Amino acid sequence: MRHVHRHKSHSSSQDTFIVTRYVHRHKIDSKMLRGSLVLLIVSTLELVLSQAPVDLCNGAIDVDGTSYKSHEECDKFIECSYDATGKQYGWVRQCSFGTYWNMDLLTCVAVDKAACTRDRCAGKPDGEIYPAANNCRGFWQCAGGKSQPQCCALDQMFDTALSACVADKQKTCKSTSCFPRFVVPTICDKEAIPGKPGFYNEVVSGWGKMERPCAPGTGFHQESCHCLNAVELSKVVRPCKPEIYLPFTTNHMDESGNEFHVKNTNVVVSNGMAYFDGNTSHLEIPRFTNIQHGTTIVINVKYQSNHNVIQGMSQAIVGNNGCSNIPTLLIAEDSSNVYIGVGTDNKTFAYTDLPQFGQDGETREIMYKFANGTLYGRMSAPTGQMSENSVAAPGNFRQARCALQVGFADDLVPFKGWIDELTVYLCDPAPTSA
Ligand SMILES: *[C@@H]1O[C@H](CO)[C@@H](O)[C@H](O)[C@H]1NC(C)=O
Ligand SMILES: *[C@@H]1O[C@H](CO)[C@@H](O)[C@H](O)[C@H]1NC(C)=O
Ligand SMILES: *[C@@H]1O[C@H](CO)[C@@H](O)[C@H](O)[C@H]1NC(C)=O
């Protein structure tokens, strides 16, 4: 079913969340431990056990029944929830290497995008090093009073005792991906050479890396993968990258590089697809609780469902009205249409429909585009069948103070079917196509 290109390696999610469940240990059930990526770190467990749960969750900010709070260590956060008996419990969660918790965005973000006043490097001299909690190739180095993520070379690992990179003799660290998150990975066959701005290395098939010069007056620019002169450099437009990318390759996690937190409730990922049972399955993305007044939102969702059997109420595909609020973003379907809607600060809920087509088991792709004061939708299938529509939606996107939910929305039927891939942009990846 996975017919699309996947040139990324997905090992980075392995260090995504190291979950430390420390209270109500007896309540840990198989549901909580679903997924092979969940590791219990016993040492951290002991560290935090002394805190009473009530203290741990005090002051946490509630988002649809799950609350979040900063931790005293910048690269951790606290997530609190209620168990079936209504008792609150909390977890200390570890951000992946190179990221810090950001309370405004409710997710871990690259350290340069998070202001954490308790940075371990605050007041420390430049060059001081300390180990990374959850990456055997990674370490932190102080520069300007801030912790900067660094990586040992591929065949090396960070030795905590020596505080240095050493050869990874046992190959224990071999498959650990490590990259400092300042550099957004791009698909580029060239790489900058430190200290030689007028040159780059190019990977030539059969030859390996070859050093090449840029044209006179230009310097190599990694992000655009080109040699640019000063004028060109000043005009570099940041490429439109996904804010959230859920390919469901092996799990439900965000692989956009942002590694935004996605909370999974009963969604089962197998064969590169996510199955939603039409009852309790949904995904929740708290990062979208706080999107402020954007002018552009583009969502692409590839999915399969048997829309022909939907009776009465529509089923939710993506929405942000899972907490008894009015939606400001909605994608839903019934037997005759796909419905898309957006709420703007001009108080409109602009919506339109895309006539349904296709069979059970056939992948369809919906593009939802709110841009330039217009809401545009298009549904297409590999067969070439297509339907589209647009409606005026003046104003800026109105935030809903509710997480983005996949497969669930208040007053709609939960989604039953498969989602193959979901991508959310806060920019327009193809400005000319609509
Ligand atoms: C829906 O989920 C609830 C709670 O898990 C369960 O009790 C119920 O039987 C489920 N209904 C269906 C139709 O599967
Ligand atoms: C936005 O829409 C207006 C009116 O339809 C059009 O003139 C303008 O070119 C559009 N801008 C972009 C960036 O698409
Ligand atoms: C808001 O909507 C009204 C009526 O649809 C329109 O007259 C007005 O110009 C809109 N305002 C903005 C800021 O788009």
Mean pLDDT, range 346-355, rounded to an integer: 88
Does 174 fall in a domain?
no
Assess whether 263 and 403 both reside in one domain.
yes
Q: Can you tell me which atom of ligand 2 is nearest the CA of 432? A: 14
**pLDDT of 379 strictly over 80:** yes
Nearest CA to ligand 2 atom 9: 372
Q: Which ligand is nearest to the CA of 344?
A: 3
Assess whether 290 and 408 both reside in one domain.
yes
As given in the structure block, the two tokens for residue 161 are 């005792």
**pLDDT of 226 strictly over 80:** no
As given in the structure block, the two tokens for residue 258 are 């942002």
- Of 358, 251, 363, nearest to 303 by C-alpha is 363
| CB of 429 shorter than 6 A to ligand 3 | no
Residue 62 has what pLDDT? 79
**Contact present, 333 and 272 (Cβ < 8 Å):** no
Give the pLDDT confidence of 11-54 residue by residue, as tens digits.
Answer: 222 222 222 222 222 223 333 332 222 222 222 222 333 344 55
Q: Can you tell me which atom of ligand 1 is nearest the CA of 280? A: 2
Residue 299 has what pLDDT? 96
| CB of 346 shorter than 6 A to ligand 3 | yes
Mean pLDDT, range 136-148, rounded to an integer: 87
Does 311 fall in a domain?
yes
Assess whether 297 and 397 both reside in one domain.
yes
User: Ligand 1 mean position to 422 CA, how many Å?
Assistant: 26
**pLDDT of 361 strictly over 70:** yes
User: Ligand 2 mean position to 348 CA, how many Å?
Assistant: 20
Residue 351 has what pLDDT? 92
Task: List the single range of 218-232, 301-315, 362-376 with lowest mean pLDDT.
Answer: 218-232
Does 325 fall in a domain?
yes
Q: Where are the alpha helices (DSSP H) in 169-252?
A: 230-234
As given in the structure block, the two tokens for residue 19 are 């979950």
| CB of 308 shorter than 6 A to ligand 1 | no
Residue 9 has what pLDDT? 30
Assess whether 112 and 254 both reside in one domain.
no
The answer for residues whose C-beta is within 8 angstroms of residue 405's C-beta and 6 or more apart is: 64, 282, 283, 284, 285, 316, 318, 319, 320, 322
Q: Can you tell me which atom of ligand 2 is nearest the CA of 372? A: 1
Does 32 fall in a domain?
yes
Residue 179 has what pLDDT? 58
User: Ligand 1 mean position to 279 CA, how many Å?
Assistant: 6
Q: From CA 76, how far away is CA 418, in angstroms rounded?
A: 33
Residue 202 has what pLDDT? 86
**By CB neighbour count within 10 A (0-12 exposed, 13-18 middle, 19+ buried), where does 277 fall?**
middle
Q: Can you tell me which atom of ligand 1 is nearest the CA of 277? A: 14
Give the pLDDT confidence of 271-328 residue by residue, as tens digits.
Answer: 999 999 999 999 999 888 877 667 899 999 999 999 999 988 899 999 998 887 788 9
Task: List the single range of 34-43, 98-107, 379-388 with lowest mean pLDDT.
Answer: 34-43
CATH number at residue 421: 2.60.120.200
Instruction: Fill in the DSSP letter of residue 63.
Output: E
Assess whether 327 and 379 both reside in one domain.
yes
Q: From CA 99, how far away is CA 109, in angstroms rounded?
A: 5
| CB of 346 shorter than 6 A to ligand 1 | no
Greater confidence, 83 or 166? 166
Task: List the single range of 124-133, 184-193, 409-418 with lowest mean pLDDT.
Answer: 184-193
**By CB neighbour count within 10 A (0-12 exposed, 13-18 middle, 19+ buried), where does 434 fall?**
middle
Greater confidence, 322 or 376? 376
Assess whether 73 and 146 both reside in one domain.
yes
Res. 152 pLDDT band, cuts 50 70 90: confident
Assess whether 12 and 103 both reside in one domain.
no
Assess whether 131 and 230 both reside in one domain.
no
Instruction: Fill in the DSSP letter of residue 57.
Output: H
Does 376 fall in a domain?
yes
Res. 146 pLDDT band, cuts 50 70 90: confident
Indicate whether this model's pTM tops 0.75: no
Residue 326 has what pLDDT? 80
Domain count, the chain: 3
Range of 13-17, 154-158, 180-184, 280-284 with top mean pLDDT: 280-284
Mutate to test the pocket of ligand 1, among 280, 282, 415 (most ligand atoms within 8 A of CB): 280
Nearest CA to ligand 2 atom 8: 372
| CB of 433 shorter than 6 A to ligand 1 | no
Q: From CA 83, how far away is CA 85, in angstroms rounded?
A: 5
Partners of 240 in the β-ladder = none
Mean pLDDT, range 167-188, rounded to an integer: 63
Q: Average pLDDT of the chain?
A: 78
User: Ligand 3 mean position to 394 CA, how many Å?
Assistant: 7
Q: Can you tell me which atom of ligand 2 is nearest the CA of 374? A: 2
Res. 237 pLDDT band, cuts 50 70 90: low
Q: Go through the chain and tell me how many residues it has.
A: 434
| CB of 394 shorter than 6 A to ligand 3 | yes
| CB of 392 shorter than 6 A to ligand 3 | no
**By CB neighbour count within 10 A (0-12 exposed, 13-18 middle, 19+ buried), where does 433 fall?**
exposed
Of the chain, the percentage scoring pLDDT greater than 70 comes to 80
Residue where a domain stops, chosen among 199, 215, 236: 236
Q: Which residues of 5-21 are buried (b: 16+ CB within 10 A; e: fewer)?
A: eeeeeeebbbbbbbbbb
Residue 292 has what pLDDT? 65
Assess whether 359 and 249 both reside in one domain.
yes
User: Ligand 3 mean position to 347 CA, how many Å?
Assistant: 9
Helix (H, G, I), strand (E, B) or coil at 349: strand
Mean pLDDT, range 166-192, rounded to an integer: 67
**Contact present, 156 and 137 (Cβ < 8 Å):** yes
Residue where a domain stops, chosen among 216, 236, 256: 236
Residue 293 has what pLDDT? 66
Residue 313 has what pLDDT? 87
Mean pLDDT, range 115-137, rounded to an integer: 89
User: Ligand 3 mean position to 87 CA, how many Å?
Assistant: 47
Q: Which ligand is nearest to the CA of 393?
A: 3
- Cα-Cα-Cα-Cα dihedral sign, residues 294, 243, 318, 308: positive
**By CB neighbour count within 10 A (0-12 exposed, 13-18 middle, 19+ buried), where does 232 fall?**
middle
Q: Where are the alpha helices (DSSP H) in 167-238?
A: 230-234
- Of 191, 302, 323, nearest to 248 by C-alpha is 302
Does 432 fall in a domain?
no
| CB of 280 shorter than 6 A to ligand 1 | yes
Does 332 fall in a domain?
yes
Mean pLDDT, range 354-358, rounded to an integer: 93
Residue 104 has what pLDDT? 80
Assess whether 363 and 386 both reside in one domain.
yes
**pLDDT of 364 strictly over 90:** yes
| CB of 373 shorter than 6 A to ligand 3 | no
Residue 352 has what pLDDT? 93
Res. 268 pLDDT band, cuts 50 70 90: very high
Residue 227 has what pLDDT? 80
Assess whether 33 and 104 both reside in one domain.
no
**The domain containing residue 279 runs over which residues?**
4-38+240-425
Residue 283 has what pLDDT? 97
Does 229 fall in a domain?
yes
Residue where a domain stops, chosen among 210, 236, 262: 236
Mutate to test the pocket of ligand 3, among 345, 346, 396 (most ligand atoms within 8 A of CB): 346
User: Ligand 1 mean position to 414 CA, how many Å?
Assistant: 12
Nearest CA to ligand 1 atom 13: 279
Assess whether 322 and 374 both reside in one domain.
yes
Ramachandran angles phi, psi of 136, nearest 5°: -75, -15
Instruction: Fill in the DSSP letter of residue 121.
Output: T
Nearest CA to ligand 3 atom 11: 346
